[in-house]
Amino acid sequence: MADMVLPAFEMDCRDWLVVSPSEAGMPEEAEGAPLLAVLSTMVVEEDIREATGALTVGIIEDKDDLDTRAVAPGSTARELLDFDPQPGTRRYVMPAPGEQRLALLAEFVVEDDLAAELDQRVERLMASFRWQENVA
């Protein structure tokens, strides 16, 4: 049986910056869940617009009870729809493969709701997510 290892994103380093929580000045936990990384991207036009995301690990009680939408056909990532978000907030869940209850959770805050380029970057990033298996 293969071990599950860190997830992978197809990330364009020209668009995204990834830092540890301590480098971002954030706590090691968010609402009791381990904070794995902080992601940030910006678009510079007339103004600077920014999107920031936090990746945490969570436990899912029942995958079937989640109100979600597929980010892209065949994508592991699903946008959570059953919460009352703050304006500009998007939440995603990536359940671990198999019968595991673990999931990677991503929450993004897009500074300007009208920033279509930022929304597209977040969607592309989430659609690129894949779990990796350790075959060694």
One-letter amino acid identity for 83? Answer: F
Please give the pLDDT value at position 134: 59
Domains and CATH numbers, the chain: 3-134 (2.60.120)
| Token code pair at residue 26 | 């954030």
Enter the pTM of the model: 0.81
- Gap between the Cα atoms of 17 and 40, Å rounded: 5
Condensed to tens digits (0 to 9), the pLDDT of residues 54-89 reads: 888 888 887 677 889 999 998 889 999 876 667 788
Within 8 A by CB and 6+ apart from 127, the residues are 71, 72, 75, 77
